[in-house]
Structure formats: structure tokens, C-alpha cells
Amino acid sequence: MAALDNNNNLPQVLILKLPPAFALFGDQFFSSEKFQFLKAYESDLPLHQFLTTHAQSVQAILSSGAAVVTADILRWMPSVRLVVATHIGLDNIDLAECRRRGIAVTNAGNVGSEDVADTAVGLLIDVLRKLSSADGFVRQGLWPLKGDYPLASKVSGKRIGIVGLGKIGSGIAKRLEQFSCIISYNSRNKNPSVPYTFYSDLCELAANSDALIICCALTAQTHHLINKQVLSSLGKEGVVVNIARGSVIDEQELVRCLMEGEIRGAGLDVFANEPDVPRELFGLDNVVLSPHSATFTVESFKDLQQLVVGNLEAYFSNKPLLSEVALD
């Protein structure tokens, strides 16, 4: 049986897979006196059978971590009227089915945006200045044996192409302005309120950049947006930083370019098939790897706790949601 909070009179919120927040802080992290969690991951029943058993009682779904909210799941749960995501990206939720069924969706809003922007800049600095690689050079005792470490590349003044100038992309741009970097961007639409150069063509953006920082949402349109042509345009001195979703980049093509020296390096917090990472990357000292942890700070998790609980309590109190996503 799946664990259910003690008060059977409270409305039920379905959790499909163990949220990272529960693993870090315990399963009371999102608790409230206004709802109770139904934890499918603790049940021995096949998922379809479990969901049909509780089809009429579950009113909301907490989408966290690797849990995918498919059209089938929503069809099996006809009483669901809200999906609360603990992340910004919504590529693991069938938004079209939510829209068709009149199901409201909330995400993490601006929670973690500052941390993601910090991480992107950190990855860029690490790759260009070879900090992680230099750390390994010292720890392995190579400094006395091989002498000075190879030269790195300057960060200040670099031409930075940002793919997706939303909240996170804008935060990255503002940070890198302090390094006297020259900012350009590609986005769905040109933003007349920013001073940066807009490129509607990604290959043109790449050709005029020393580094591409990927921060757009993953959609059907942005899947493999960064492909062979874009990477070729970036060239041998170019760097890629990805803090968006792994599948925004053609990962196989990225690996090939890195192994064959067709781009300078990469800083990656996200991958196409997490937690599996291409093993070819492990031996490359021009690649910095991070386990999709850009938002993993104590401060962001505290803010997330308040937002998730606030959205659920608002729904069950018939109040406006705090971070509802427009599904138009």
C-alpha cells in the first residue's frame, strides 16, 4: 500500500515519484493541514492499477523530479484539477491534455532563477579558466612533475550568445555585463527594452559568439535546437553552457564535436537521459559536468517549500494560485 497521511478527511495530492526535496529534507517538507499526500512510489501495485484505485479521490498532482505526468495518467485521474510542478520547466507534463481537461498548472516561478544564472556563469568561468581541470592537476600531484599548468582563456570581454532571454537568460546577461562581456541573444521575439543585439538566426548568433549559453525551455520546437550546424558555426574556439534541458542540444553531436576538437569546451548541468551521462565526456578535461543541480541551494528549497505549499493551500481554499502557468 502507498503511504497516506493520517487524516482521511483531507483532500488527496498524488505524488508519482520520490521528490528530491523529500530525499533531502524528509517527507514532511511539503506537508500542510489542508491536504494529504498519496505516494504512488510506495505502492506495490502496478501504476495503472494504483491510479484507477484512487481515481475519484485525488484532486491534485505534485510533479517533481523525474515524474512524468502523461495524458494517460490524467485520463486515469478524472478528479484532478491541478498539477503543481516543483520546477520551472514543464516538459514532463502533458500541457495540451491539461488545457483540454481544464486542469490548472503551476510551476516554480522565479524560485531558483538566480541560482541557475549563478551556475551558468560559474560553468562558463570554470570551462574558460580550466578551474576543475587545474584542481585535478594539483590533487593528482602533477604540478611538481609537469610544471606549470597549460594556459587558460580570459572571461572578461568575451562575446556571449544567450539562447532564451527570459528571467534566467536576463540574469545571466546582467552578471556577464560586469565582466565587460558583449551580449547577444536569440529568443522567440526581439525584446526592444534590452540593449543587446538580437539574432533571429541561431547559426548567425553562434558565429558571432565565443560562448553560447542555453537557457530556453524544452518544447517540440526547441528539441535539438542546438544541432550540428549551430555547433559548426560556433567553431573551434567556442564554448557551450547548458542549464536548460539536455535535449535542447543534439547530445551525440555535442559529444562528437568535443571529442574531435570542433569546439573548445562545454559546461553542462543537464543531459538528455538523466541520470545517465555520455561516458565519453568523463575523460575530457575541457568539459565541466554538474548533476542537474543548478537550483540546489538551501535558500531556493526554502522558497520552493513556501511556493508549493502555498499553491496547494490556495487551491483547496478556493484562492488564486501563486504561480499559475498560462496554457494558451
The set of catalytic residues is 245, 274, 292
Rounded distance between C-alpha atoms, residue 246 and residue 91, angstroms: 11
Task: Give the ranges where 151-297 is alpha helix by DSSP (H).
Answer: 167-177, 202-207, 228-234, 251-259
3-class state of residue 226 by DSSP: strand
Q: In what order do the strands lie in the sheet with 36-39?
A: 36-39, 12-15, 58-63, 82-85, 104-106
Give yes or no for a contact between 61 and 71, defined as CB atoms under 8 angstroms apart: no
Q: Report how far residue 235's alpha carbon sits from residue 163's, in angstroms, rounded to the nearest whole number.
A: 17
Residue 33's CB: how many other CB atoms inside 10 A? 9
Residue from 190, 191, 177, 230 nearest 208 by CA: 230
Element (H, E) at 214: strand 211-214
- Cβ–Cβ < 8 Å for 246, 272: yes
* Cα 3 from chain centroid (whole Å): 29
> ω before 275 within 30° of 0 (cis)?
yes
The grid cell for 102 is: 481544464
Alpha carbon distances (Å) from 288 to 135, 272, 277: 12, 16, 12
Nearest CA to 234 among 250, 247, 218? 250
